[in-house]
Amino acid sequence: MRRALQFILTARAYRLGALLPKGSAKGELLRWLLGSSERSDDAPRGERLRRALESLGPVSIKFGQLLSTRRDLLPDDIADDLARLQDEVAPFASATAIDIIERELAKPVNEAFASFETEPLAAASVAQVHAVTLPDGEAAVVKVLRPEIGTKIAADIRLLKRIAALIDRLSDDFKRLRLPEVVADYELTISTELDLRREAANASLLKKNTAQRKLVFIPTIFWDYSTPRVMVSERISGVPIRDITALNNAKVDMKLLAERGVEIFFSQVFDDCFFHADMHPGNIFVDITTPQSPTYIAVDCAIVGQLSREDQYYVARNLLAILQRNYRLVAELHIESGWVPPSTRVQDFESTIRMLCEPIFDRPLNQISLGHMLVNLFRAASSFDMKIQPQLVLLQKTLLNIEGLGRQLYPELNLWETAKPFLEDWLKRQYSPRNVVRQLQRDAPAFIHHASQLPEVLPQFLAVQKRILNEPHRKEAHARDSHYWIGSGVATLVITLVANLQSHWYPIAGLCLVLLGLIRLRQ
């Protein structure tokens, strides 16, 4: 109750009720309760919301950071202001950090490390970082979760859920804010940051994926020193990417640096299918050892994105269709992928996308934001009842970060020149004969495993089919299923030949499938 009262008083102090849409009498009561009477000397609404979240503490700051990524729901001015929320917050006592480390590692700090710096290097909303030296003399950092952070987050999430549900019920005008799903998205995201072993695993995989390209460096994780609340990793040395002056003084090739940032993003999303999804300036450094060939250093891998093969395909084709201004295809792809309901009228969706995107193309290419085009696309889709897709929200957020960062480094950056050839080449590579064979080889064992069970299930299946065959409305579906089984059998035989599978079960399974389809057709 005290926390709820604190939320209400803070909202009234910053007159956040004015941010809610006007609605029914109940809605107006809520607006009044949260402070709806704006003053002439008030700060802009986005700034008021940002300051309110900052005053409510680390958990609310983290919520504001995530809220800033939902540009499909928020006006641009509010999203831009919330994006200014920084991870720099007041650190907690070093003695508390030492106590947590000693409990987690089950040994005193002076035994675990050769040295430990009590002054934290950085403090964020969920954890803080101290510099240490390992017993073998290697420089490292130790990341420590804030005390009781899990309890505080759980309590605030419960309160946010109740507030969101209340606002959602009060009026249809409030439903378009989709606050319950925003809070659910926040809960999913924040939960991944409360076990540092998950972040360590993410960092290890990102390091493995990016090692060959050598465009970004991920610090090594020291697993012997890592637990759910403590993580130790290699200490990095680089220039913060926001320090443009230092990069220019070092004569860094800023155009190449900006283009490499875009290349890192697309290669992680489409080649690795696993991308760093928290690429704000506080997490990015630059190795300027070779200024004419600079590389990135990325830290804080707690939030990552991962696309399924289907999502990769639809995202790539959607981005290409936008670049080609083929709005009809964009609408069809959204329906085909299931992102919007199948009942959506293609013509209406196409018209909405054209209305939002077409004016942007009047600008010079180097001023067009692909990230904001994606935001407009999601905005259009949300009006057609597109359900929240967390992986796409992370993709949109990361693209906006990378694009903004790239243009800060090199204002003439033309993201389109990098994106279009990459996407076209990726689609060609994905569906080249060699890659199709590789996918068949990868999926063949699972397919054959199920096909090899046909001798057991085939008699039962045929008996069931005979019973339902006399139903008139089943005829069309029956013929379609028959062709499906025949096709599956032929595919099994092709896989056996192409992938050179040796087991005698594989051709037998393929022949059984073909036989099943023929039997059903004759019936």
Is residue 290 included in any domain, yes or no? no
Q: What pLDDT is attached to residue 380?
A: 81
The letter for the amino acid at 473 is: H
Q: Which long-range contacts (CB under 8 A, 24 or more apart) does 415-418 make?
A: 415/262, 415/368, 415/369, 415/370, 416/323, 416/365, 416/368, 416/370, 417/365, 418/259, 418/262, 418/263, 418/266
Q: Is residue 179 part of a domain?
A: yes
- Over residues 172-180, the mean pLDDT reads 68
The answer to whether residues 76 and 38 touch, using CB atoms and an 8 Å cutoff, is: no
State which of 377, 403, 430 marks the end of a domain: 430
Judged against a pLDDT cut of 80, whether residue 67 lies above it is answered with no
Q: In this model, does residue 185 exceed pLDDT 90?
A: no
Amino acid 10: pLDDT: 87
390, 315: one domain? yes
Higher confidence at residue 77 or residue 388? 77
Tell me: the pLDDT tens digits for 115-164? 999 999 988 888 999 999 999 999 999 999 999 888 888 888 888 888 88
Q: Pick from 455, 442, 440: which is nearest to 493 by CA?
A: 440
The predicted pLDDT at position 479 comes to 52
Q: Are residues 171 and 67 in the same domain?
A: yes
Q: Which of 387, 410, 430 is the last residue of a domain?
A: 430
Q: Coil, strand, or helix at residue 217?
A: strand
Domain contains 206:
no
Phi/psi at 149 (5° precision): -65, -35
CB-based contact 288:326 (threshold 8 Å): no
Distance (Å, rounded) from C-alpha 218 to C-alpha 304? Answer: 13
Q: How far is CA 409 from CA 186, 262, 418, in A?
A: 30, 12, 16
Top pLDDT among 481 and 183 is at 183
Give me the number of domains the chain comprises.
3
Same domain membership, residue 360 and residue 465: no
172 and 71 housed in the same domain: yes
Same domain, 379 and 343: yes
Average pLDDT, the chain: 81
| Angle at alpha carbon of residue 470, lines to 472 and 484, rounded to 5° | 80
| Domain interval for residue 322 | 305-430
Is residue 514 over pLDDT 70?
A: no
Confidence of residue 438 (pLDDT cuts 50, 70, 90): low
- What backbone phi and psi angles, to 5 degrees, belong to 181? -75, -30
Q: What is the distance between the alpha carbons of residues 314 and 303, in angstroms, rounded to a whole number?
A: 22
Residue-wise pLDDT tens digits, 222-233: 999 999 999 999
Catalogue the active-site residues: 278
Residues 69 and 181 in one domain: yes
- The span from the CA of 420 to the CA of 89, in Å, is 39
In a domain, 162, yes or no: yes
pLDDT of 503 over the 60 cut: no
Q: Which helix (H) or strand (E) holds 131?
A: strand 127-133
Quick check: is 201 in a domain? no
Residue 316 and residue 427 in contact, taking contact as beta carbons nearer than 8 Å: yes
Whether residue 349 is contained in a domain is answered as yes
Do residues 454 and 346 both lie within one domain? no
Residues in a beta bridge with 402: none
- pLDDT reading at 482 higher than 90: no
For 72-131, write each residue's pLDDT tens digit.
667 878 888 887 776 567 789 999 999 999 999 999 999 999 999 999 998 888 899 999
Residue 38 lies in a domain: yes
What pLDDT score does 169 carry? 77
- What does the longest C-alpha to C-alpha distance in the chain come to? 82
Indicate if 507 and 443 belong to the same structural domain. Answer: yes
Would residue 419 count as lying in a domain? Answer: yes
Exposed/middle/buried for residue 457 (C-beta within 10 Å: 0-12, 13-18, 19+): exposed
Q: Do residues 423 and 463 both lie within one domain? A: no
* Three-class DSSP category at 60: helix
- pTM of the complete model beyond 0.75: no
Residue 167 and residue 59 share a domain:
yes
How far from chain centre, in Å, is Cα 41? Answer: 38
Q: Which of 156-160, 316-320, 452-456 has the lowest mean pLDDT?
A: 452-456
Say whether both 315 and 391 belong to one domain.
yes
β-partners of residue 145 are 127
Domain boundary among 430, 464, 487: 430
Same domain flag for 362 and 461: no
